[in-house]
Amino acid sequence: KLGGFELASVIPGEKQYFIEREMVLQDEFRSPERQSGDLEVLSDSRGLSVDCFSLGRLVDAVFTLANVPPAGALRAYAQRLSKSLPHQRVSSALFLKCPAFKADFVQLLASLDELGLQQPSEQASTLARLAPRLPELPAPIRLHKI
């Protein structure tokens, strides 16, 4: 549900777009091949590997700013996303298979995000699972989502 990663990679045929928006993506989130500025190297890189690098750095930054250590599996996956060589990075599809995303609480929050799309019976099930866990939710989630 994150957007804006098109700024991390090359949009084919849109060199000017890429150059004009370069300042939007901070250096710490740019992959080594992206930092080199060589658009030819970027266009030959492994698919969305530059975006995967940025995603790995973003995951690390979120946990660092929140001063919360990520679960071991999530940290390991984020580190694999941020490898310096494109062929060593895991794909975003593999990242989504991280066990941290299978946790019941994470699944509950995902269901909450999709509540408006669910059938009435699914909505009732989600809300029934949510009720006893309300005290565990961070205040911003309780305030803005519930």
Output the pLDDT for position 123: 92
The conformation of residue 90, written as its DSSP 8-state character, comes to P
Higher pLDDT: 119 or 8? It is 119
Q: How far apart are CA 47 and CA 95, in angstroms?
A: 15
pLDDT in tens, 6-40: 555 555 555 666 666 667 778 888 888 878 776 66
Q: How far apart are CA 25 and CA 21, in angstroms?
A: 8
Output the pLDDT for position 1: 42
C-beta of residue 136 within 8 angstroms of C-beta of residue 108: no
Which pair of tokens denotes residue 86? 């494109």
Q: How far apart are CA 18 and CA 14, in angstroms?
A: 6
pLDDT in tens, 51-72: 888 889 988 888 887 777 667 7
Residues 13, 29, 51, 6, CA torsion sign: negative
Output the pLDDT for position 124: 94
pLDDT higher than threshold 70 for residue 100? yes
